[in-house]
């Protein structure tokens, strides 16, 4: 099986025409893997992007099914007035 690589433009289109800076931020934060660089151009492994998408989708689904438990906000005390 041969690997398929996507250009930066194809990756931007894949995620809804996001900006180049968004792709850079995702790489810097580790959200997506570093691209392969050939002659100064970036090529992203499509299989790795698919795996990353599945991982994020599973984490999102788990968060939706098990929302974080939050304590209610403390109430403001009434009756303490300054005269």
Q: Domain map of the chain by residue range?
A: 5-65
The answer, as to whether pTM is greater than 0.95, is no
pLDDT mean over 5-18: 96
- Which two tokens mark 69? 């438990």
pLDDT per residue as tens digits for the range 53-78: 999 999 999 988 988 788 778 888 77
pLDDT per residue as tens digits for the range 22-38: 999 999 999 999 999 99
- Which two tokens mark 66? 């098990």
> What is the distance between the alpha carbons of residues 80 and 73, in angstroms, rounded to a whole number?
19
- Which two tokens mark 59? 């984490």
Place of tokens 């099914």: 65
Confirm if 45 and 36 have CB atoms less than 8 A apart: yes
Considering only CA atoms, which of 28, 29, 37 is closest in space to residue 8? 37
């Amino acid at each position: 099986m041969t690997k398929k690589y996507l250009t930066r433009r194809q990756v931007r289109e894949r995620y809804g025409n996001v900006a180049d800076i968004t792709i850079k931020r995702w790489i810097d934060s580790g959200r997506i893997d570093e691209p392969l660089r050939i002659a100064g151009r970036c090529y992203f492994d499509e299989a790795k992007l698919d795996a990353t998408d599945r991982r994020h989708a599973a984490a999102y689904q788990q968060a939706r099914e098990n929302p974080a438990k939050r304590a209610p906000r403390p109430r403001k005390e009434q009756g303490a007035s300054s005269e």
